[in-house]
Amino acid sequence: MEIGGGYGALAWYIQQAVPGVSYTMVDLPESLVYSAIYLDVLHPGSTRFLANYEFPDMLHRAEACDLVINTLSMSEMSEQQIRAYCVGIRKLVGAHGAFFEQNQDNTTVGMLNAQQIIAEYFPHHEEFGGPSDRQTHRMQGFANVWGA
């Protein structure tokens, strides 16, 4: 599952690399219009599209995900939204799945650092990148894998 998949480029690459993968994209309805058109042309019928307000329904159905992905959009969310997604992601991935995210620290512009909040929900963490990469990745954040 990908939260905030934009127009669908990452979904396309993953579907190319892993044919037959079950892929769900959760995003704002107005963004899903673009990704639905893009992905239905390139991989017809291979992606399930859920508006962000449908995420709780997915949780109520007790669905499971091996991997949940978010790149850059949690940095734009409110604390309440990030926490709601973290609770849900934790339920979806269970003890064996993973949450991959890359979000920049937006505290310098009066917003949040999503990774500080995410750390409260996932005890296992692996960051990719190090001190020499900090300047390079200041705007895009570091890639992280989180687990229960």
CA–CA distances in Å: residue 85 to residues 3, 27, 45: 9, 12, 26
Give the whole-angstrom CA distance, residue 99 versus residue 69. Answer: 6
pLDDT at 51: 97
- With a cut of 80, say whether residue 126 has pLDDT above it: yes
Report pTM: 0.91
- With a cut of 70, say whether residue 64 has pLDDT above it: yes
Strands (E), 1-141: 2-3, 23-27, 47-51, 67-71, 98-103, 124-128
Q: In this predicted model, what pLDDT tens digit does every residue of 84-104 receive, in sequence order?
A: 999 999 999 999 999 999 998
- Domains (range + CATH), the chain: 1-61 (no CATH), 64-148 (3.40.50.150)
pLDDT at 108: 86
pLDDT at 138: 61
Find where tokens 């991997």 sit: 67
Q: Averaged over 61-71, what is the pLDDT?
A: 95
Residue 35 in 3-state DSSP? helix
Q: In this predicted model, what pLDDT tens digit does every residue of 23-61 receive, in sequence order?
A: 999 999 999 999 999 999 999 999 999 999 999 999 999
Strand partners, 82: none
- With a cut of 80, say whether residue 12 has pLDDT above it: yes
The secondary structure of 126-141 as a DSSP string is EEE--GGGTTTTTTT-
